Structure 1
Amino acid sequence: MLPKTKIIATLGPVSFDKIPDLEKEGVSIFRINGAHVNPEKGREIVGQIRSQAPSAKIMLDLAGPKIRVGKLWKEPLCLSPGARVRLVGKKEGCEGEIPIVYDHLEEELGSHHRVFLADGSIQIEILGKSEKGLEGKVIYGGYLLSRKGVNFPDIPTHLPCLTEKDKEDLEWGIQAGVDMFSLSFVRQGEDVKELKKRIQDLGGKVPVIAKLEKPQALENLSQIMAEADGVMVARGDLGIEVAYQEIGIHQRRIIQEALIHAKPVITATQLLLSMVEHPFPTRAEVTDITHAVWEGTDCLMVSDETAGGKYPKEAVRVLREVIQAAEKEEAKHHHLIPFRKTSFPILQHSVCYGAYSLAERVGAKGILASTEHGSTPRILASYRPKQPIYAFTNSISTHTLLSLCRGVHPVLLEGRNHGRAQKDEMVQYILQKGLLQKGDPVVLIGTSPFESGEKTNWMEVIFL
């Protein structure tokens, strides 16, 4: 039996031929990293997933405005602690220079600003400006290669939220029928709105996940939550941009904020990094995953582990087993969560909370929710009921979004039945699939009449 917490796996060279195996181990969503594929390869991967794991969802990750090192004059370039270096804002560097592909480099950086290279493994402090560029001193050294990532943790950068590459990926992604997009380096709610408008202009209607990896995103968290369909705690770049001792604090805050807004939240990066090279995880990794589950994350995502590691299938299996153990322990201490304030209408939220508490008190075996836009099952899921939530909808985009929500099993209906016919259809589906047994108590929740367009306003207990 699969865990309530969903598993997302990034595909790469080592896993393109292991899609069915990864799905069998518990993956329900496959991620394609737009930074590493061209349109032709991207379409090919989508086709592979559709043919080998037709029930899985596909997330296309838009790389965003990542600042990178340009072409170095020497490779690898050895940077020793204490060495003096010169940074220049161009695509290719001459001898003695480190080129940074960012037009505003010399304009925005100044004395005492830090520059992190290669995922933060190399750190440089800016000493000042000269006619030839920015003069700096290496604080932590290492070997630098061209195209490595660059971070400026002390300043906000002035970059568009979508690059030309992102726009190209967006177009082929919609044409290929990917299920959702994740947007890198989101800084404000307007970034999400811009992406959603482009998707709409291209004829698409799919969820957008905002990746939170910049200090500005943390400052604008509430407005991003309001605009995005879901969020990702992207701990890679976030761990470079903020103080390392605060990463866990920010992760906890983001998850709590997502629960308040009833938006799915994904926790990502280095969950099982040791399994890129080794068949077993470290104790710290297992503990990290356990606490992410207990904090309330909806999904956990592996990247390098399944895209380029030696043990992609084993990594997913370990992730699933740790999640299952964490959920089992959590269930032993299950208790009714108090009613909380949210941005949802009070009637809808109250009915959802009533269904959640009713299911707990009567010992329901499941909650059956009828929904058009997905807010009802999302509110229910935010309280983390011990019962599975079966969410019935005739909207493909809603079905996709709910596939990210912890403990929610979305069901796509073909028709638009109302009233008693709709209830009968939900019950019939549950029994035919063997999800619950005849005579089991369940809580039904939805809108009556369904076609009225009103928010959730009814619930009842029935025996199947």
Structure 2
Amino acid sequence: MFQKNTKVVCTLGPSSDSINELLALIKAGMNIARLNFSHGTHEHHLKLIKNIHKAESLMKTRIGILQDLQGPKIRIGEMPPEGIQIKKDEVFTITIKEITGEKTKHKTIIPVTYKNVCRDVKKGATVLINDGLLESVVINKKKDELILKAKTSGIIKHGNGINFPNSTISAKTITEKDLKDLEFGLNNDVDFIALSFVKSKKDIEDLRALIQKKGKNTPIIAKIERHEAVSHLKEIIKATDGVMVARGDLGTDIPPEHIPLVQKRIIHLANKHGKPVITATQVLQSMVKNPIPTRAEISDAANAVFDHTDAIMLSNETAVGKYPARAALVLTKVAHSVEQEMEKHKELKEYNFSSKQKTRSSLIACENACDLTVRAKAAAIITYTDDGFTPKQIAKYRISTPIITFTSSEKTARELTLVWGINKVFVKKFPLDANKKLQNIVNFIAREHLVKKGQKIVIICNASSTSTISTYKL
């Protein structure tokens, strides 16, 4: 196994839902399993959850479970099985009527699932269908129809997504389907909940209220895939527990040439606030069918590691692709290679310690612990945490020194599966007395040979409350 700090998220599906396939993914480097609630039944998702727990038990590891809510995805309604061909410059109609799409000599009419589309979308607006492969513009509108003119050719099929990059869609971010799926996820103790099509921090606050109403505090991952979200990045990242650069829908909602810069901004802001960030969509898309990726895909994944993403996500590659475990292993190798080279070539990496700019003592404590670790050339930095705050804040500095984490909470341990560099987590209960706790930690490290005799370690405990920092030589 290649040791890496960047985490790998794998979407599960027909290619990866059995225990044997899950074991292969774990061996290849999977840290998080994503359940895509745009597809599948609750019965099937429950089977996946049980299989994940069986597989992680067999491998003696933790695999975080990410529930990805569908959100208000606007799609094409019922269509003929073969779809309908649209040619460039052809005029066609989309309607909110519940019909099956058809093409005659006089008219082509396509149903959509969103009932307020005619109200929200104005004349002259761009309409993208099937991930932008078919581009069109609104040339006229009626009460229940939009008249479009195609700018490119393509086939429209049932379930194709539709995007409106220069329109503001009023659909609620949390749908009725999401509410049912959320209840299922909370009842089955998923570790993270991803919210699709976030527009502002209010969407995060609304979801958090629903989670808390159920007596839970499951972390929220905000998916950035709308132009409105890009305009409110700072407030969203402050409000959420983690963030996903969802480049698929985002790439049809803003100009695709803007995606690389937006990706860098999201990762930078998430790192700054100590929030885990996932880079997603079409990372190794060619591996859905091919056993090896393209050179461009390798560079894309490597650049995400250079940018300090916490995790990289595979979608179709592991859900329906021919080579799920092989794709996961490619990401693992890329992360390992880039991280190793960054250590060899220090000019590629800088530690930015600037406590003078911090006001919270908890943040200053974590920064000081990292600074001390680097200066002392410690073999490891040890964190003790109840809520996960301390290791997350330590990890954001990317100091590369191994992070060993202790916590009294299995829930916290599972949530740390998404955080960069948190590879060794032990669930242990230690005495409340600070000195006894430190001595117990040191004794455990020595007994388990986690650090060699004579090496230095830095220990920081509960930075979010009564922080203590200590240095030991074993």
TM-score range, shorter chain: over 0.9
Q: 1:340 to 1:104 in 2, by over 3 A?
A: farther
> Whole-Å Cα distance in 1 between the matches of residues 142 and 133 of structure 2?
26
Would the aligned equivalents of 1:6 and 1:27 in 2 still touch at CA under 8 Å? yes
Of the candidates 79, 86, 94, which is equivalent to residue 93 of structure 2? 86
Tell me the equivalent position of 1:347: 361
Which residue does 2:323 correspond to in 1?
311
Distance 1:240 1:336, change over 3 A: closer
Alpha-carbon contact 1:73-1:92 (below 8 Å) kept: no
Give the aligned residue type for 1:378: K
Say yes or no: does 1:206 pair with 2:213.
Answer: no
State TM-score, norm by structure 1: 0.94
CA contact (8 A) 2:80 2:100 kept: yes
* Pairing partner for 2:188 from 158, 163, 176: 176
CA shift digits 1:391-411 (9 cap, x unpaired): 222234432332211112333
What corresponds to 1:461 in structure 2?
471
Q: How far apart are residue 203 of structure 1 and its match?
A: 2.6
The verdict on how the C-alpha distance between 1:156 and 1:76 changes in structure 2, with shifts beyond 3 A counting, is same
Report the residue type matching 1:459 in the other structure: I
Residue 158 of structure 2 is aligned to residue 146 of structure 1: yes
1:204 CA displacement: 2.2
Q: Name the residue aligned to 2:50.
A: 47
1:270-349 counterparts in 2 under 5 A? 270-334=282-346, 336-340=350-354, 345-349=359-363
**In structure 1, distance between residues paired with 2:171 and 2:212:** 23
What CA distance in whole angstroms lies between the structure 2 residues aligned with 1:203 and 1:235?
Answer: 33
Residues 50-89 of structure 1 mapped to structure 2, 5 A cutoff = 50-54=53-57, 55-72=62-79, 75-89=82-96
The 1:207/1:400 distance shift into structure 2, 3 A limit, reads farther
Counterparts of 2:178 and 2:241, CA distance in 1: 19
2:105 maps to what in 1?
A: none
How far apart are residue 459 of structure 1 and its match? Answer: 1.2
- Count of matched residue positions in the alignment of Structure 1 and Structure 2: 459
Taking the aligned partners of 1:340 and 1:122, their CA distance within structure 2 comes to 49
Asked whether 1:30 is paired with 2:44, we answer no
346-355 or 90-99: which moved more? Answer: 90-99
Cα distance, 1:413 vs. partner?
2.4
8 Å Cα contact 2:11/2:315 also seen in 1: yes
Which range is displaced more, 245-254 or 216-225?
216-225
Question: Per the alignment, in what secondary structure is the counterpart of residue 5 of structure 2?
Answer: coil
Mark the CA change 1:317 to 1:454 in structure 2 (over 3 Å): closer, same or farther. closer
User: Equivalent residue for 1:265?
Assistant: 277
SS in 2 for 1:403: helix
The answer to whether the 8 Å contact 1:161/1:191 transfers is yes
Alpha-carbon distance in 1 for matches of 2:27, 2:298? 21
Structure 1 residues without counterparts, runs of 5 or longer: none
2:407 match? 393
Deviation at 1:296, TM superposition (A): 0.6
Whether the 8 Å contact between 2:64 and 2:418 is mirrored in structure 1 is no
Q: Which amino acid aligns with 1:48?
A: N
Does the 8 A contact of 2:80 with 2:157 survive in 1? no
State whether structure 2 residue 200 is matched by structure 1 residue 188: yes
Match for 1:19: what amino acid?
L
Deviations 1:378-431 (A, max 9, x none): 221111012011222223443233221111233322455331221133223333
* Equivalent-residue separation in structure 1 for 2:440 and 2:180 (angstroms): 41
Moved more, 128-137 or 256-265: 128-137
Query: Is 2:195–2:220's contact at 8 Å kept on the other side of the alignment?
Result: yes
User: Secondary structure of the equivalent of 2:177?
Assistant: helix
Structure 2: runs of 5 or more not aligned: 103-107
Distance in 2 (alpha carbons) for counterparts of 1:342 and 1:199:
37
Give the aligned partner of residue 374 of structure 1: 388
Q: Which residue of 2 aligns with 1:445?
A: 460
Q: Following the alignment from structure 1 to structure 2, what is the Cα–Cα distance between the partners of residues 432 and 62?
A: 44
1:10 maps onto 2:11 in alignment = yes
In structure 2, C-alpha distance between the alignment counterparts of 1:4 and 1:176, rounded to whole Å? 28
Whether the aligned pair in 2 keeps the contact of 1:206 and 1:397 (CA below 8 Å) is no
Distance in 1 separating the partners of 2:55 and 2:68: 21
Whether contact under 8 Å (2:118, 2:142) holds in the other structure is: no
Alignment of 1:196-275 (within 5 A): 196-275=208-287
Structure 1 residue 429 and structure 2 residue 452: aligned? no
The residue identity in structure 1 corresponding to 2:248 is: G
Q: Distance in 2 between matches of 1:339 and 1:408?
A: 20
